[in-house]
Amino acid sequence: MAWFVVEEHGQAVYVEKALGEDAIQPYGRVGKRVDLHDIAAGKAILSELPRRRVHEIVDEHGLTRHTEHTITSLDRLFEELDTVREQGYATNENETFEGFRAVASPVSPEGDLQGAVVISGPQTRFEGERFQSELPAIVSRVANELELEILSQNNR
pLDDT at 75: 97
In the structure, what pLDDT confidence band is assigned to residue 125 with cuts at 50, 70 and 90?
confident
Residue 118, strand partner residues? 3, 104
Per-residue pLDDT of 55-77, as tens digits, reads: 999 999 999 999 999 999 999 99
pLDDT at 27: 58
C-alpha to C-alpha distances, 115 to 66, 72, 73, 111, 151, nearest whole angstrom: 23, 23, 23, 11, 14
Q: Is 117 exposed, middle or buried (0-12, 13-18, 19+ CB in 10 A)?
A: buried
Domain ranges of the chain: 2-154
In one letter, which amino acid is 73? Answer: S
Provide, rounded to the nearest whole percent, the portion of the chain with pLDDT above 70.
94
- Topology classification of domain 2-154: Beta-Lactamase (3.30.450)
In the structure, what pLDDT confidence band is assigned to residue 97 with cuts at 50, 70 and 90?
confident
C-alpha to C-alpha distances, 31 to 6, 27, 34, nearest whole angstrom: 10, 12, 10
In one letter, which amino acid is 26? Answer: P
Per-residue pLDDT of 20-63, as tens digits, reads: 666 555 556 787 899 999 999 999 999 999 999 999 999 999 99
